[in-house]
Structure 1
Amino acid sequence: MKLPFYIVDVFAEEKYAGNQLAVFLGAEALSTEEMQKIAREINFAESTFITKIHPENNSATIRIFTPEKEMQFAGHPIIGTSWVLMNKIIESQPRNFKLSVPIGEIPIQQSEGLVWLQAAQPQFWDVFPKEGFSSFSNLKNEDFDAEFPIQEVTTGSAFVIVPLKDINALERLNLDLTKTSEWLQAHCKTAHRALYFYCFDKGELYSRMLCIENNQLVEDAATGSASTCLQAFLLKYKSQEIKIVNKNGLEYQCGISKPNLQLVWFAC
């Protein structure tokens, strides 16, 4: 069986940057187990499998897998897969599209070379005390931004949003693999468990997303789904209208240029 696919660099301004994504076409005959095996073999942060395309109404259905599990929603896979469908697969090259994922239908729009998604409405879950973070991280009480809570938020994939005081705390952040895994399993409501740390420093927004995959602590260089949760969090706790560049990932370490996510956020 031949399975055509595209390799896409998402959240990038050039090839071989940003977040890699494998987009598989004609995947309707694949079982869940086969999709998971392929995603594990590709070993990107996520791979997507297009199971249905409806060119007559500019829509499609996809499934999203990390090397370890299926995702209900994920930002960069939806952006990358939508771009492939709108620019490489559907002849009319529509500017508006709808992509169905396990949490529901996601509206997509393409304009001026950018692809935008409208995330599902957020849900705000448990609030956590900062003192608990000393059990699995090097953070101290004074490293947290006391203006905002630490809270788990989901728009389809859940993230514990952790506000830090400044970029120094964000930069030197260090987590213990075993203890972090134990804390996430004990406190998070879903199988997707991740921490999204952020800070405002000199008026700019910086963020880092860390999670456990295949018994390893991994950092996602640029994550759309976590950013939608942070968007909802800031709209709730900071301002009802936000327009800001989210500098996601450790671009200032090791001489590696990480992508920035430009997010325009408005309250609905």
Structure 2
Amino acid sequence: MNKLRVVTDSTVWLADPEFAAKHNTVILPLTIHLGTRSYLDGSEISAGDLQPAAGTLSALPVVASPSVDTYTSVLESLTHCSSDILCLHVSGKLCRTVRNARTASETLMGRTNIAVVDSLTTSAGLGLLVEEATRLADEGASLEDVVRHIRYLIPRLYAVVLVEDLAYLQRAGHLSRSQVLLGEMMGIKPFLSLEDGSFVPLEKVRTREQAIEKLIEFVGEFSHLRQLAVLQGSDHLQSDVEILIERVREIFPSCPIVIARLSASVASLLGPRALGLVAYDMPTA
């Protein structure tokens, strides 16, 4: 049997596009339903293919997690090459991915060791956890030790996001229609924090300039920032985001800063114009 295998989902952002291929990491795609058509996240659709909200909710994308049958098939195939499997997924409060993985793993109980972990995060936060789990697996760590380390890291990841397209939050069930109408009428953009796996309102801003200042304030709260990811749906780095990065480097000159593009599945929840940060804060040993 080979070393521990890591399974994750397409909400993940990995700094190295070839990471999964290099480390035999399985990335299961979520499905994006857009109108009458369906697309596999990552290979058939990206955040850049989504448009700012306009018209009816039916024109907005709907995200579907990999089915229990899909998980069962994938996990069963992995039992032939590994005795230990770690399923590390997007927050279960954002979609059904973790729930379906757990249901599938129960059907294989006794045939292999499978641990299903809810990361309580997504995108670059999930990517950091996947990279850490893979690093430990490559070093020969046991499944129990990897899970213990990942659970230690999860509460040290923090995320905030500015949402420009309120209708996406309505479509995902995070806002009511009346809240969307009021927000659009008053020009309010919600500033959300990812807490215990759910996006919760932190503050409200009216302009991108105010949002950038709030993001800088967020970064300034940390004392041992190890890595910072800037989340955005576009490949193009806007001037205000460049200013944000410059200001952050003034506070933490040695902290690595990466630009993480949102997957289509995450952009379907937050809108393609969402802008956010994922911070990894932990004192050095």
- The TM-score with structure 2 as length reference comes to 0.24
Identify, as 1 or 2, the structure richer in helix. Answer: 2
- The TM-score with structure 1 as length reference comes to 0.26
Identify, as 1 or 2, the structure richer in strand. Answer: 1
